[in-house]
Protein backbone atom coordinates (compact mmCIF):
# COMPACT_ATOMS: atom_id res chain seq x y z
CA UNK A 1 0.00 0.00 0.00
CA UNK A 2 1.05 3.57 -0.53
CA UNK A 3 1.22 4.80 3.05
CA UNK A 4 3.55 6.76 5.27
CA UNK A 5 3.14 5.42 8.81
CA UNK A 6 4.14 6.85 12.19
CA UNK A 7 3.54 5.87 15.81
CA UNK A 8 2.89 8.32 18.63
CA UNK A 9 1.19 8.70 21.99
CA UNK A 10 -1.08 11.43 20.54
CA UNK A 11 -1.57 13.40 17.35
CA UNK A 12 1.93 14.55 16.41
CA UNK A 13 2.94 15.96 13.03
CA UNK A 14 6.36 17.25 11.95
CA UNK A 15 8.10 18.97 9.10
CA UNK A 16 9.62 15.61 8.14
CA UNK A 17 6.12 14.13 7.70
CA UNK A 18 5.14 17.09 5.56
CA UNK A 19 8.26 16.73 3.42
CA UNK A 20 7.49 13.04 2.87
CA UNK A 21 3.91 13.82 1.87
CA UNK A 22 5.16 16.36 -0.67
CA UNK A 23 7.71 13.87 -2.02
CA UNK A 24 5.09 11.08 -2.28
CA UNK A 25 1.82 12.80 -3.28
CA UNK A 26 -0.09 9.54 -3.79
CA UNK A 27 0.68 8.21 -0.29
CA UNK A 28 -1.77 8.42 2.63
CA UNK A 29 -0.60 9.35 6.13
CA UNK A 30 -1.22 6.89 8.96
CA UNK A 31 -0.59 7.99 12.56
CA UNK A 32 -1.09 5.27 15.16
CA UNK A 33 -1.85 6.61 18.65
CA UNK A 34 -1.22 4.65 21.84
CA UNK A 35 -1.53 7.11 24.71
CA UNK A 36 0.21 6.43 28.01
CA UNK A 37 -1.63 9.30 29.68
CA UNK A 38 -3.58 12.33 28.56
CA UNK A 39 -6.85 12.65 26.71
CA UNK A 40 -6.05 11.27 23.28
CA UNK A 41 -7.90 8.02 22.54
CA UNK A 42 -6.19 4.89 21.26
CA UNK A 43 -6.58 4.36 17.53
CA UNK A 44 -5.18 5.70 14.30
CA UNK A 45 -5.57 8.48 11.80
CA UNK A 46 -5.78 7.51 8.14
CA UNK A 47 -5.63 10.67 6.08
CA UNK A 48 -5.42 11.16 2.34
CA UNK A 49 -2.29 13.03 1.33
CA UNK A 50 -4.08 16.31 0.58
CA UNK A 51 -5.95 16.29 3.91
CA UNK A 52 -2.75 15.62 5.87
CA UNK A 53 -0.83 18.29 3.98
CA UNK A 54 -3.58 20.87 4.41
CA UNK A 55 -3.76 20.14 8.14
CA UNK A 56 0.01 20.45 8.57
CA UNK A 57 0.09 23.63 6.48
CA UNK A 58 -2.55 25.13 8.78
CA UNK A 59 -0.17 24.58 11.73
CA UNK A 60 3.04 25.79 10.09
CA UNK A 61 2.45 29.42 11.05
CA UNK A 62 2.10 28.69 14.77
CA UNK A 63 4.71 29.57 17.40
CA UNK A 64 5.51 25.93 18.22
CA UNK A 65 6.04 25.16 14.53
CA UNK A 66 8.54 27.99 14.18
CA UNK A 67 10.37 26.89 17.32
CA UNK A 68 10.25 23.07 17.01
CA UNK A 69 8.83 22.33 13.53
CA UNK A 70 6.04 20.19 14.95
CA UNK A 71 2.48 20.24 16.25
CA UNK A 72 0.98 17.96 18.89
CA UNK A 73 -2.46 17.66 20.41
CA UNK A 74 -3.90 15.48 23.18
CA UNK A 75 -7.34 15.30 21.58
CA UNK A 76 -8.66 14.64 18.10
CA UNK A 77 -8.77 17.90 16.13
CA UNK A 78 -12.26 18.70 14.90
CA UNK A 79 -11.03 18.86 11.29
CA UNK A 80 -9.61 15.31 11.53
CA UNK A 81 -12.48 13.54 13.35
CA UNK A 82 -13.65 11.81 10.16
CA UNK A 83 -10.17 10.34 9.66
CA UNK A 84 -9.71 8.84 13.13
CA UNK A 85 -10.54 5.19 13.82
CA UNK A 86 -10.93 4.15 17.46
CA UNK A 87 -9.36 0.89 18.67
**Residues 21, 52 contacting (CB under 8 angstroms):** yes
pLDDT tens-digit readout, 4-40: 999 999 999 999 999 999 999 999 999 999 998 888 9
d(CA 30, CA 47): 6
Q: How many domains does the chain have?
A: 1
d(CA 24, CA 16): 12
Q: Could you tell me where the DSSP H helices lie in the chain?
A: 15-23, 49-59, 63-68
pLDDT for 16 equals 97
Average pLDDT, the chain: 96
pLDDT tens-digit readout, 40-69: 999 999 999 999 999 999 999 999 999 999
Give all strands of the β-sheet with 3-8 in edge-to-edge order: 3-8, 28-33, 43-47, 84-86
Q: Which domain holds residue 19?
A: 3-86
Amino acid sequence: MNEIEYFSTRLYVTQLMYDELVAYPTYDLIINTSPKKGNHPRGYYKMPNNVARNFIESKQGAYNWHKHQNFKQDSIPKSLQDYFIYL
